Structure formats: C-alpha cells, structure tokens
C-alpha cells in the first residue's frame, strides 16, 4: 500500500516537494537527480538545501527546464528562505499560498511565462532582500513590498513596469527599484518631478493645477469687481476727470511714439479683447 500520504512515514516537506515536482513536470527537467527516490532523504534531492533540522531553506532550480505550474503546496516549506525558479518555462498564476512563506528573503521568478495578477499575500512578506519578477506576463499592480535595507541596491526589486509594454496598460509597481519593458530593456526607477512634489500621479497634479487656475481667475474677478465698485462710489470731480483724461492721452501718445503706431503691442493700449489675445500670443511666441 502507498504510504506517501501518511505524514508519519512521509514528512510534509517531502510531500510538498513531490507535489512541486509533479506540477512542474519534473520528469522533463534538465537535472532531476535523486528526486522522488524512496531510499534517499529529500534534502539530497538536486537543488534542495536543508538546515540541520532537515527544514528546506533553499530551492534553486534556475535554468533547469521546468514547465507546468507552481504548486500551491510550496507554502508547506515554512522555513524556506530562497526560491529561485528563474529562466524556465513555468506558466499559470502565482498561488496565494506563497504569501505564507514568512521566512522568504530571495525570490526569483524572472524569465518564465507566469500570467495573471500577483497575489496580494506577497505584500505580507516582510524579509525580502531580493525580488525578481520581470520577463513574465503579469498584469495589474504589484503588491506593495518593502525590502530590507541590508544588501539593497537598484536591482533588488525588478518587474515589467517599463514602457513600452506588451499590454495596453503597463504593470504598475510603486516600490520597484528597476523596471523592464517589452524589449527586455531594464532601467532604474527614479522619482519624477511630479512625485518629488508629493503628487502621486500626473492626473492628481492636473486636477490641482486646474482648480488653482480657476481659483486664481475667480480671485482676479472679485478684485476687479471691488475696484470698479470703489471707483463708482468715489465720484471724482469734473476737474479731476479732465486732468486724468489729459494724463491718459499724453501717456498713450508717448507709448505709441516709442513702440510705433503699427506695432502689434499697440493692441495693449486698446480695450478690444481680441486685440489683447493677438498681442499676448505674439509675446508668448517671442518668449518661447
């Protein structure tokens, strides 16, 4: 009879690795020495490293011809600190159960064919020092992950958040230290001027800018209205009006004489809004 499902004869970690082997099509691997050997301890299986208590702490099977899917029973390896499945042909989504690997520090799933959204449980892991997710087909938003500062560098956290993307909406990653695009070009992420100004996005900045412009226009209108009302209430005398008009004419004649009667800037001396717009446009082009 089969004792493989009996935890007294077959430890949980051995069952977990056996399920991983079957789901990842272990029979087709480039190297699978000792895997599933009934007479050898699972710590002797190729790519498996254990501690002195026979807890699996490292599973490294990079560039080894893996395919199929990642088993959800990977979560049974409670003491796992490093998982490297990079440069294979694994597909499907990442199981939520990966979020139960609380000791995990190094996770490399890059250069595979994983799809779908990354599990939110990934954000619960607190000891990451390296996280490589690039060159897959993930969509949506990468969960917020804070890496430990020890050994931290610009290639510590990489995903496919670069542009151009193979999708209409690129993968979003707020915490990544490096982004890769559809051309497999990777570059460090840097804060934009918008982000440095404490805006989370250009959309937020646009709304604040729009509201500010509207508010400024309203303030100018109210100020102009108050000044006009004050002028009407002051009721200047006839002599003052004549003196003021005379000064206006002299100032206007002097200005026209200096800038030229046919200059576009003479529109500023009139009250025609169209003329003002033309003059402002010319001035803007010259300043540009």
With beta carbons less than 8 A apart as the criterion, state whether 95 and 117 touch.
Answer: no
- Residues paired with residue 60 on neighbouring β-strands, in sequence order: 84
Q: Cα-flanking dihedrals φ and ψ of residue 278, to 5°?
A: -65, -45
Position 136 scores a pLDDT of: 95
Quick check: pTM over 0.75?
no
- Burial annotation 9-43 (CB, 10 A radius, 16+ → b, else e): ebeebbbbbbebbebbebeebeebeebbeeeeebb
76 burial type by CB count under 10 A (0-12 exposed, 13-18 middle, 19+ buried) = buried
Angle, alpha carbons 100-105-111 (nearest 5°): 95
Residue of 162 and 270 predicted with greater confidence: 162
pLDDT grade for 148, boundaries at 50, 70 and 90: confident
Proportion of the chain in helix, strand, coil states, percent, rounded to 5: 40, 15, 50
Residue of 257 and 73 predicted with greater confidence: 73
In the chain, the percentage of residues whose pLDDT exceeds 70 is: 61
Q: Cα-flanking dihedrals φ and ψ of residue 152, to 5°?
A: -70, 135
- State the sign of the Cα–Cα–Cα–Cα dihedral 119, 84, 111, 36: negative
pLDDT grade for 4, boundaries at 50, 70 and 90: very low
With beta carbons less than 8 A apart as the criterion, state whether 93 and 116 touch.
Answer: yes
The C-alpha atoms of residue 272 and residue 60 are separated, in whole angstroms, by 77
Edge-to-edge strands, sheet with 91-92:
91-92, 113-117, 137-139
Average pLDDT value for the chain: 79
Residue reference for tokens 């710590």: 43
| 189-227 pLDDT per residue, tens | 865 454 455 554 445 656 676 567 566 557 765 676 666
Average pLDDT over residues 176-193: 82
Mean pLDDT is lowest, of 37-46, 87-96, 168-177, for 168-177
178 burial type by CB count under 10 A (0-12 exposed, 13-18 middle, 19+ buried) = buried
- Residue 244 above 70 pLDDT? no
């Amino acid at each position: 009879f089969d004792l493989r499902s009996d935890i007294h004869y077959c430890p949980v970690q051995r069952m977990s690795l056996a399920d991983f082997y079957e789901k990842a099509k272990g029979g087709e691997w480039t190297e699978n020495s000792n895997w599933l050997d009934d007479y050898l301890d699972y710590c002797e299986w190729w790519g498996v490293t254990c501690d002195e208590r026979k807890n699996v702490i490292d599973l490294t099977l990079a560039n080894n011809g893996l395919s199929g899917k990642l088993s959800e029973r990977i979560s049974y390896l409670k003491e796992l600190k490093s998982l490297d499945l990079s440069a294979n042909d694994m597909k499907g989504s990442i199981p939520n159960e990966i979020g139960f690997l609380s000791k995990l520090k190094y996770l490399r799933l890059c250069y595979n064919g994983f799809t779908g959204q990354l599990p939110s449980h990934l954000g619960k892991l607190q000891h990451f020092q390296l996280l490589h997710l690039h060159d897959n087909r993930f969509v949506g938003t990468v969960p917020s992950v804070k890496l430990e500062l020890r050994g931290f560098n610009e290639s510590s956290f990489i995903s496919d958040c670069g542009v151009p993307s193979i999708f209409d909406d690129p993968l979003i990653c707020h915490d990544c230290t490096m982004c890769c695009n559809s051309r497999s070009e990777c570059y460090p992420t840097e804060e934009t001027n918008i982000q440095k100004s404490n805006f989370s996005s250009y959309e937020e900045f646009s709304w604040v800018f729009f509201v500010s412009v509207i508010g400024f226009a309203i303030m100018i209108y109210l100020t102009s209205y108050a000044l006009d009302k004050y002028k009407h209430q002051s009721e200047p005398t006839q002599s003052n009006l004549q003196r003021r008009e005379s000064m206006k004419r002299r100032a206007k004649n002097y200005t026209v004489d200096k800038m030229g009667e046919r200059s576009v800037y003479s529109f500023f001396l009139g009250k025609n809004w169209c003329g003002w717009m033309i003059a402002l446009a010319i001035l803007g082009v010259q300043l540009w």
